[in-house]
Chain A
Amino acid sequence: MSVCSLPEQFSFLEPFAAVWGDLHSQDERYLKRQSLSYGELEAFHAVLAHRLEEVFSYLDGFDPNALPEPEARLFRTVLGLTEASQAVEIFGQPRVPYAPYPHSVKMEWVGYEPH
Chain B
Amino acid sequence: MADPINIKSHMTKAADMGLANGQVPVEYYTSPEIYAREQAMIFRRAWLMVGRIEEVPGPGDFMVRDVPPLDARIVITHGKDGLIRAFHNACSHRGVALVCQERGNALTFRCPYHAWVYGVDGSLRAIPSEEDFPHVDKAKNGLAQIHLDVWNGFIFLNFADQPEVTLHEFLAGLDTMLDGAPFGQFPFYLQVTDEIDCNWKNLVNAFNEGYHVAILHQKTLRPAVIPKENPYLHYLDIKHFGPHSAGTVQRNFDYNPNVPTLSWVYAQMLPTSAPDKQAIAEGRAGFYEHPGINRLKIPNFGTETITIFPNISIQPLANGYLFYQFWPLSHNRMRTEVRIYGRHAPKNLREEFAMANTLAATRDVVVEDMAMSRLQQIGLQSGGKKVQNFGENEPLLRMFTRDYEAYLAGGGLTPRHADAAE
Contact = CB atoms under 8 A, between A and B. Distances in A.
Residue among A50, A52, A82 with max Cβ neighbours from chain B (10 Å): A82
B367 A96 contact: yes
Residue among A49, A78, A110 with max Cβ neighbours from chain B (10 Å): A110
B78 to A, nearest CB: 16
B320 to A, nearest CB: 14
A64 interface: yes
Contacts of A115: 349, 352
Interface in A86-104: 86, 89-92, 96-100, 103
Nearest to A96: B367
Contacts of A53: 264
Interface of A, helix, strand, loop or mixed by DSSP? helix
Contacts, number: 114
Interface in A40-60: 45, 49-50, 52-53, 56, 59-60
B34 interface: no
Given A96-B368, A105-B192, A107-B190, A56 B350 contact: yes
Interface in B196-220: 196, 219-220
B348 A60 contact: yes
Given A91-B219, A100-B374, A108-B191, A85 B357 contact: yes
B260 A50 contact: yes
B360 A83 contact: yes
Contact of A107 (B196, B346, B359): B359
Residue among A83, A92, A107, A108 with max Cβ neighbours from chain B (10 Å): A107
Contacts of A50: 260
A19 interface: no
B185 interface: no
Interface residue range, chain A: 35 or more
A75 B193 contact: no
Interface residues of B, number: 38
Nearest to B339: A110
Interface in B257-314: 257, 259-262, 264
A86 B364 contact: yes
Contact of A30 (B196, B260, B357, B360): B360
B363 A30 contact: yes
Contact of B262 (A89, A91, A99, A108): A89
B188 interface: yes
B372 A112 contact: no
Given A26-B360, A90-B364, A100-B374, 19 more contacts: A26-B359, A30-B360, A45-B261, A49-B259, A75-B349, A78-B353, A82-B356, A82-B357, A96-B364, A96-B368, A98-B375, A99-B370, A105-B192, A107-B190, A107-B193, A109-B345, A110-B190, A111-B188, A115-B349
